[in-house]
Amino acid sequence: MGMVKKPYQGVAIAECGEPLLPIPLEEFAIVDPHPYVAVGAPYGDKSPFYLREGIVERLRQAQVQLQQQRPGWRIQIFDAYRPVAVQQHMVDYSFAQECQARGLVAEELDEAQAEAVWQAVYQFWAVPSLDLTMPPPHSTGAAVDVTLVDETGNPVDMGSAIDELSELSFPQHFAEAEDEVGQAAHGMRSLLFTSMESAGFIGHPKEWWHFSFGDQIWAWQINLKENKDTANAAVMACYGYIE
């Protein structure tokens, strides 16, 4: 499958130069062992738990807001910074997993089958591009995948697993649910959304767990709400690719 350019990748980037720092993990819950590390993702001298300095501060603010509504609850960080090599590794891994889920053998796919699998993968995963004008969101240090844990440290049921390649991952999937389980999942997603939004984050339109501030997706969604086309958008990204 050829290069998949997503709408937000046309947003201009005016890099602010803010440093990439390790997240103070004692302040948040984390997923351990980290799922991408567990499948061999090559982080080099970094780890999944890095973010830009300003993003860490916003994450703190979001957790304060959460705890005003749910004392003792914490934001659980599933994933944050991703070098492009990790993005490539996980895209390839997800392709293989999706083939397996469909009962297909990756090496034996015809063109139509391969195209269908790649479309499923790229509906959720960003292209592992080295083009500095269109970095994968997580490679900017401005995007973070998060969920919630309760006061006992147990993960909260959000209705689907992080990285699930299905419509269950869409943030509003359970908005019209009539059953108690679906309604509860929507309530928890809304709680996460309002907590993150209070700190300036904007959620990904197709992933309930993905939030960012200052990257291309963030700027694109602001401009979209203001009916600004990407080429002449007033709001630019301030975080680009960082190593």
Where along the chain do its domains lie?
Answer: 7-83+132-232
Question: Confidence band (pLDDT; 50, 70, 90) for 5?
Answer: confident
Q: Is a pLDDT exceeding 90 seen at residue 177?
A: yes
Q: Are 163 and 124 in contact (CB under 8 A)?
A: yes
Residue with tokens 């309760």: 150
Q: Cα–Cα distance between 104 and 117 in angstroms, integer? A: 10
Q: Cα–Cα distance between 68 and 233 in angstroms, integer? A: 36
Q: Is a pLDDT exceeding 70 seen at residue 232?
A: no
pTM reported for the whole predicted model: 0.92
The tens digit of pLDDT for each residue in 127-168 reads: 898 999 999 999 999 999 999 999 999 999 999 999 998 999
Hey, CA dihedral for 176, 180, 181, 186, is it positive or negative? positive
Question: In the structure encoding, which two tokens stand for residue 109, read together?
Answer: 């796919």
Fold of 7-83+132-232: Muramoyl-pentapeptide Carboxypeptidase; domain 2 (3.30.1380)
pLDDT score for 231? 53
Q: Which residues sit opposite 30 in a β-bridge? A: 77
The tens digit of pLDDT for each residue in 95-125 reads: 999 999 999 998 999 999 999 999 999 988 9
3-state class (DSSP) for residue 150: coil
pLDDT score for 226? 77
The tens digit of pLDDT for each residue in 220-230 reads: 999 888 766 55
Catalytic residues: 207
Question: Confidence band (pLDDT; 50, 70, 90) for 6?
Answer: confident
pLDDT score for 224? 86
Q: Are 128 and 84 in contact (CB under 8 A)?
A: yes
Phi then psi for 223, rounded to 5 degrees?
-65, -35
Side chain identity, residue 192: L
Element (H, E) at 200: none
